[in-house]
A and B are shown apart, each in its own frame.
Chain A
Amino acid sequence: MSTIELKNLTKTYGKFMAVDDLSLLIPEGCVFGLLGPNGAGKSTTFKCMLGLANSTSGTVLYDGKPLEPSTFERIAYVPEKSVLYDWMSVHDHVEMQRHAFSHFNVARAHELLAQFSIDLKKKARNLSKGMKTATMVALAIAREADMLILDEPTSGLDPINQRHVLNLIINESARGATVIFSSHQIGQVERAAERIAVVEHGRLALEGDVDDLKSGRKIVEGIFPNESFALDGIATDARIARIDRSGRILRLLTNADADGVAHLLEAKGASGIRIVDLNLEDIFLYAVAPAESTADVVEGVPQ
């Protein structure tokens, strides 16, 4: 079983920085969620990790060692776009995998494909987008690999099959496999992932343990008697990650000790103090949203 480490990974296409000095550590047995807006560099990161794209600089280490041919026996990868051969049946793909890898559990593959109601005789060209995703996920899980790299493994699937894929990821983690996956559905990442990273423009915007992020990050809001309140003692407070003021209302994003920050606001003369919990979607939006748009984000938080 295995750790995966990215050290200062950088990938440029001409002048475009697809991945910009990205460092991540994915501990053994961890389910790691990679989040980011479209075009943030998630898929490119995965490709660089697997040597499918040449990184411009930086390293990727598996158990402390660079990728080598034997590492591929230990990694199962589901790419974002289908790599199934149109002219081949699902059964042919199972056979191909069985011959391509030293370990492939054919019975498990058949069981998983049946759970997704996929007809083994169907040619890949006749599968829907969701069925292609499900087929690739089934083939990957049947590898019983130490590490899984899953790029949007629920894309195109209906809610029941999305939930099934999440449970397969959870099951892989429970048996000790290390999993990194990306998804646009933050609710799924919130369920399955223990740690997350948010990337934007190829750069790391936020990383951490999901529970720690949710425990520490709160909005503390207070109302001042007039608009000319001073921010001294607030702007320099290490617990406060972001300050939004509009009129008499001050909203603070805290990293830690929201109760303490609430008391600070009270001591400064604010009233109507509220502490608002943030879910992962709120935290994600704060990580990628420009400062001026955060006031709208806050208004979207349930009261």
Chain B
Amino acid sequence: MPAVLTVDPRSGVPIYLQVIEQIKRSVAVGVLSSGEQLPTVKQLALDLTINPNTVAKAYRELERDGVIETSPGRGSFVKANGVTETTKAAATDVARDAIEAAVREAKSIGLDADEIRNLANAAIDRWFRE
């Protein structure tokens, strides 16, 4: 796997969630492709200098979310079957988190639902303009 993962242990976001988010993002943008092998738990733990059980926990959740599959003795792989759905689901997860955070922030500084909708629509129009 390309060295695309970094973790910020000083962030308030648990490290295993950072690993999950980055692997999903890598799948979504195609940096990790269908059937590609992930590093072993031990190797990724040593690459990132994080606890092996933290990596194992991230891999378990990614497996449950259908992003990767693990075969005993062979290792973990980006899910080969239905990779388009996996990619789409991973991209949706990443985007949902970003939008949730933006809406929460906008709401907390006093904007109402219509004002936030207008901002979102303006942003969508700008990015999807032909």
Give the interface of A toward B (CB within 8 A).
29-31, 163, 166-167, 170-171, 173-174, 187, 190-194, 210-211, 214-215, 218, 271-282
Contact = CB atoms under 8 A, between A and B. Distances in A.
Contacts of B16: 211
Given A171-B42, A174-B52, 5 more contacts: A173-B51, A191-B9, A194-B53, A272-B108, A278-B12
A174 B41 contact: yes
B83 interface: no
A163 B50 CA distance: 10
Nearest to A33: B51
B53 to A, nearest CB: 5
A163 B9 CA distance: 13
A-B pairs with lowest CB-CB distance, top 6: A277-B12, A211-B14, A174-B42, A190-B9, A174-B52, A214-B14
B57 interface: yes
A17 to B, nearest CB: 32
B98 interface: no
A191 B57 CA distance: 14
Interface string B31-74: 00000000001100110011111100100000000000000000
B15 interface: yes
B86 to A, nearest CB: 24
A163 B46 CA distance: 10
Contact of B51 (A31, A214, A218, A273): A31
